Structure 1
Amino acid sequence: MLQPGPTSDPDPTLTRALARDLNAADYRTERLRERWGTAVDAVLGRGHALPARRALAGDESALAVVARLFGLGEGVTEAEASLVFASVGAPGLAALGLVEVDAGEVRPRALIRPQTYVDEDGADEWLVVSDLDEAAWGGPLPEGHVLGVGRASLTLAGLQLSGAVDRALDVGTGCGIQALRAWRAAASVVATDVSERALRITRLNAQLNGVDGIQTRRGDLFEPVTGETFDRIVSNPPFVITPRVAGVPAYEYRDGGRVGDGLVTEFIAGVGRHLTPGGTAQLLANWETRHGVPGLDRVRAWVEDSDIPLEAWVIERELLDPVAYAQLWIRDGGTVPGTAAYDELLGAWLDDFDTRRVTAIGFGYVLLRRPARGRPTLARYERAPQALPEGGLGAHLGRALTAHDRLSALDEAGLAASTLVVAPDVTEARHHLPGAEDPSVIELHQGGGLARVLAVDPALAALVGACDGDLAVGPLIDAIAELLEVDAARLRADLLPRVRELVFCGFLSFV
């Protein structure tokens, strides 16, 4: 069986040569989609490589050779590799730990896949090295597997706040995708991991993409940065809840070695002392509902127990029962349902959950901020299971934080004196019973952001519709009160708190 990929530090000269060869082959996401079609591309993203293999059959172009070798994890002939990788050569690929060369065949020891990203500076692409995936490996993954760019990685990369900062930290960097994303806005980045192989792959990916300014350090959680502070911390930590019993694989990329959701508890407890005033931390996490206490309430308690006061915005995206959660992660490791090994692992997971009386496991996004001054003013814990629009949420989260800060400085009179405008992605839907003149339901729909749908009454709908940047909120409410023949003071008291919510959520914005 093939050994895992890079196990030594990359040679910069060879890495630069490899980058030239990949660029010469035009090894890019768009070109691959053109070659095998969007439908094949979609199923490949879900781990099904056969349609892509069939699409490349008989194609001897440079793009096809690179795609077979490093995109699909298939062997190619040494002659093909020598022709396509003219700069680095097959021996150079082997020296980088990316292939094995034997009897005229070049077999991959790692994958290299192009990954498109979009942020406020525009769209671009990275080339990302990772270990062979399950399809290329041909069985359950090794425990030291270094994961490539998956759905969770893309989610967190899209969640990252924009805006230039001095220092950023990526905790549990894996292949380095979050560090690369953080580098786009940070003067310097520190990337940590418990796996030395992961750090080597991170360094290789930085070199491959011409990125300077990412420093790697080995260690658990915040141990490698003791006494240091950062303006921005990001982490896709190994948060997967795993039984601490013999026979259950402890995959480094997903298992932090703690009981239950203890890793996330520790992260939240320790992150505050590593944030500069005004600094933010963002992570993906799981949390358990235990003894009838909802997971979101437990996360709130962790934040409130922090010795450094923190603001929090926590969004629960999914909620799974213990059986579904266990099945998800057993299959993720490559163990096939219906086998004795699968049933044994499922039993271990369910026994583990039973010991803590776990009835559900939540997954979501955590955004924490150390107040620049004073006490925390943001403590928001919500569920958002709805489908989200394509593209990252980072810009939306940043605008919401800015809106929160401005709203916090305004009393009711100040808000009433403010002029607002409806966001361009907001639409209104009215639902009527057959034959009814007045709507029974009025909804505001958000096309971007968290794609919220809010039910509103006629007074709030009228106010939102009138927010065109001309008149302030207070006079608008007074006019609506006169139209509806209700008390203006009472209507203000009713609408202004809801206006605050609409501004934070992005339905309305300050002029």
Structure 2
Amino acid sequence: MSVQPLFPASVLDQLGQAIRGRYGSVAVAEALGLPGEAAMSRGDLSGADRLTRGGSETETLIRLFLLGLPAPSAAAEAVLRPLPLSQAVAAGLVEEAAGSVRATLDLRPYSETGGPDWWVVSDLGAEVRPGPLHPEHVLGIGSAGLTLAEATVRDPVRRALDVGTGCGVQALHLSEHSGSVTATDLSGRALRMAATTAALNGKRWGLRQGSLLEPVGQEQFDLIVSNPPFIVGPGFAPGAGGFRYRDSGLPGDSVCAELVRGLPARLAEGGTGQLLANWIIGASQSWEERVSEWFPPAGCQAWVWQREVAEPGEYVALWLRDAGEQPGTPGWQQRYDQWLDWFAAAGVAGIGMGLISLRRTGGHASQVVCQDVPQAHEHPIGPAIEDWFGRQAWLRDRSVPELLEARLTAAAGMVRSTHSVLTADGWQQAVAQLRQAGGLRWELEVDDAVAALVAACTGEAALGVVLSVLAASVSAGVDEVITALLPVVRDLIDRGFLVPVELAGPAATGSDR
């Protein structure tokens, strides 16, 4: 059974005509100005209100659909043309009372850098309609969704899947580089929102209702993305303390573990899966050990980033505020105590938050690399993730003799910095670091030997020759240097400080040196 949009096709067609040209990303940015955009980004809707009282068409649309403010009926009728206000009211897009009109939904212009304008339909947030959210609330464009979108590998694919699509923002991105897009959600309301988003943007997606991967059966996809209901807790179910967009009803981090376990089988050979996830950090088990257990013993390669760590009280307060709860109210205190009591009983010392990227690799033993990645990085970061998978496949297939025959080049734009301390004998170098200009922007402490190795990798000589020259320069045995530095070389390749010449493009190779 096909999923129908919230509004009839005639209403959507006329609404599209009304907003195109006067309510796109550029028009909204110009109407808000830098102060208004800053106010919106920090959730200061009063600041945005003050800056959008000029009465222009774009300002009226901002006030209606972004700020949730009432507009005079005459002004609303003007900006919705050719959609008659009476039809907009009848369809449930807006409500009219006492000569003023208010929107019932968030209608938000959105675009990739340099891309076309899109419009995303969702429920109005707690900052617009104060108070606890409805259990079936459909979240709009949030920071988590933007994180996933900019981390997604964007190579062209034949089939893509968005698990837990919500308002459909990930599906919009997938549409730009996928032959077909399938999107699932357990919430029928979310699917209707996604169908509305698709219709407004002229997209066609296969929308299916059900939990996680269940709606796609045994089908396989080239790319799967998911912003699942990943909140770690007692297993609040929607309508029983939970919210559909973020609470799975499963205890702990079970929903993320279940999704990760199911992903490899739903990926075509060489396919990529990417999802946001939260995980438990226990007192007796590292987060790396816990998350690594989610992956099968063979058939996939995974890169897990831990971006943040929250202690239990901090985590609970974050998500109670997210749902519109107010500190000090009975509802807040009841949920706060119930949540923290569960954490204490389950031995939860902290909660890790991050991103999981995995690739199906056939019969190879699974490789799971877990890393703390708290630093600011380049945006979008999807290309760097794709490059990492390429380097890992290259390393996996190289024996020691083959690695010594390889030609490596240092990444472009690298910076070496040194820090010295003042001693009785004057300034003495204490720490030297290599820092990347782009990508993950890793910083790595190095000694003189490693710094010299990186500088010597110009892509012209084999690694074995470079190590032999380095050994001679420090009067050490070649075998001794190789034994000491090969693990370092592998780590430098893993992190992108060194790149095999066959994988490096002109910008990455530093070919202007």
TM-score (norm 1): 0.92
Q: Which amino acid aligns with 1:215?
A: G
Tell me, which stretches of 5 or more residues in structure 1 are unaligned? 1-5
Secondary structure, counterpart of 1:303 in structure 2: coil
Q: Distance in 2 between matches of 1:149 and 1:410?
A: 43
User: In the alignment, which of 61, 72, 78 is matched to residue 56 of structure 2?
Assistant: 61
Distance 1:421 1:342, change over 3 A: same
Query: What's 1:215 paired with?
Result: 206
1:227 alignment partner, one of 188, 197, 218: 218
Matched, 1:406 2:397: no
Q: Deviations over 1:161-184 (max 9, x none)?
A: 121111111111110111111222
Hey, what's the Cα distance between the residues in 2 that align with 1:180 and 1:267? 22
Task: Determine the structure 2 residue equivalent to 1:3.
Answer: none
One-letter amino acid of the counterpart of residue 223, structure 1 = E
Matched, 1:242 2:233: yes
1:45-99 deviation digits (Å, cap 9, x = unpaired): 2322010000112x11111111111111112122112211212232343355321
Q: Which residue of the partner structure matches residue 185 of structure 1? A: 177
Match of 2:196 in 1: 204
CA shift in 2, pair 1:453/1:78, >3 Å = same
Task: Output one character per residue of 1:386-417: Cα deviation in whole Å (capped at 9) or x when no partner.
Answer: 2334x121110001101111222222222222
Query: Once the two structures are superposed, what CA deviation does each residue of 1:113-136 show, in whole Å capped at 9, x if it has no partner?
Result: 122324xxx544422111011122
Report the AA paired with residue 432 of structure 1.
S
What corresponds to 2:510 in structure 1?
A: none
- Are the counterparts in 1 of residues 236 and 250 from structure 2 also a CA contact under 8 Å? no
1:82 aligns with 2:77: yes
Match of 1:316 in 2: 306
- Using the TM superposition, give the Cα deviation of residue 283 of structure 1 relative to its aligned residue in structure 2, in angstroms: 0.6
Relative distance call for 1:356 and 1:468 in structure 2 (3 A) is same
CA deviations on 1:451-506 (whole Å, 9 max, x unpaired) are 21111111110111222333332222222222222222221222222222222222
Match of 1:459, SS? helix
Given that 1:171 and 1:193 are in contact with CA atoms closer than 8 Å, whether structure 2 keeps it comes out as yes
* Match for residue 38 of structure 1 among 30, 34, 38: 34
**Are the equivalent residues in 1 in contact too, given 2:4–2:195 (CA < 8 A)?**
no
Pair 1:416–1:240, CA change in 2 (3 A): same
Contact 1:49 1:72 (8 Å CA) reproduced: yes
Is 1:169 the counterpart of 2:161? The answer is: yes
Distance change >3 Å, CA 460–CA 438, structure 1 → 2 = farther
For 1:235, the aligned partner's letter is: S
Mapped to 1, the partners of 2:489 and 2:460 lie a distance apart of 16
Percent of aligned positions with the same letter in both sequences? 37
Corresponding residue of 2:332: 342
Aligned-residue RMSD, C-alpha: 2.1
Residue of structure 2 equivalent to 1:14? 11
For structure 2, the residue ranges without an aligned partner over 5 or more in a row are 502-513
Name whichever of 143-152 and 106-115 sits farther off.
106-115
Structure 2 Cα separation of the partners of residues 167 and 338 of structure 1: 48
Which segment drifts farther, 101-110 or 255-264? 101-110
CA drift of 1:329 comes to 0.6
**Which residue matches 2:381?**
393
SS in 1 for 2:465: helix
Residue 129 of structure 2 is matched in structure 1 by: 137
Change beyond 3 A, Cα 1:459–1:244: closer
1:193 positional shift: 0.5
Q: Does residue 1:490 correspond to 2:480, yes or no?
A: yes
In the TM superposition, what are the counterparts of 1:363-382 in structure 2 within 5 Å?
363-371=353-361, 373-376=362-365, 378-382=367-371
CA distance in 1 between partners of 2:416 and 2:318 (Å) = 38
The answer as to 2:25 corresponding to 1:29 is yes
Instruction: Determine the structure 2 residue equivalent to 1:356.
Output: 346
Q: What SS class does the counterpart of residue 241 from structure 1 fall into?
A: coil
**Alpha-carbon distance, 1:8 to partner:** 5.3
Alignment pair present for 1:459 and 2:459: no
Mark the CA change 1:195 to 1:387 in structure 2 (over 3 Å): closer, same or farther. Answer: same
Q: Distance in 2 between matches of 1:291 and 1:465?
A: 42
Counterpart of 1:379, as a letter, is: V
Aligned AA (2:442): R
Instruction: Give 1:276-291 correspondences, 5 Å limit.
Output: 276-291=268-283
Q: Give distance in 1, aligned partners of 2:158 and 2:447.
A: 45
Secondary structure in 1 aligned to 2:412?
A: coil
For the residues of structure 2 that align with 1:245 and 1:393, how far apart are their CA atoms? Answer: 33
Answer yes or no: is the 8 Å Cα contact 1:478–1:488 preserved in 2. Answer: yes
TM-score for the superposition, normalised by structure 2: 0.91
Give the aligned partner of residue 293 of structure 2.
301
Q: Given residue 415 of structure 1, which amino acid in structure 2 is its aligned partner?
A: L
Cα separation, 1, equivalents of 2:319 and 2:119 = 27
Distance 1:103 1:339, change over 3 A: closer
For residues 100 and 434 of structure 2, the distance between their equivalents in structure 1, rounded to whole angstroms, comes to 60
Counterpart contact for 2:415–2:434, Cα < 8 Å: yes
Q: Does the 8 Å CA contact 2:261/2:296 hold for their aligned counterparts?
A: no
Structure 2 CA distance for partners of 1:70 and 1:173, relative to 1, 3 Å: same
Change beyond 3 A, Cα 1:463–1:151: same
Q: By how many angstroms is 1:508 displaced?
A: 2.0
What is the SS of the residue equivalent to 2:20? helix
Alignment deviations for residues 29-50 of structure 1 (CA, whole Å, 9 cap, x no partner):
3333333332431331232201
Distance in 1, Cα, partners of 2:91 & 2:438: 42
Indicate the residue corresponding to 2:43 in structure 1.
Answer: 47
Deviation at 1:294, TM superposition (A): 2.2
What SS does the corresponding residue of 1:47 show, helix, strand or coil?
coil
Greater shift, 355-364 or 88-97, is seen at 88-97
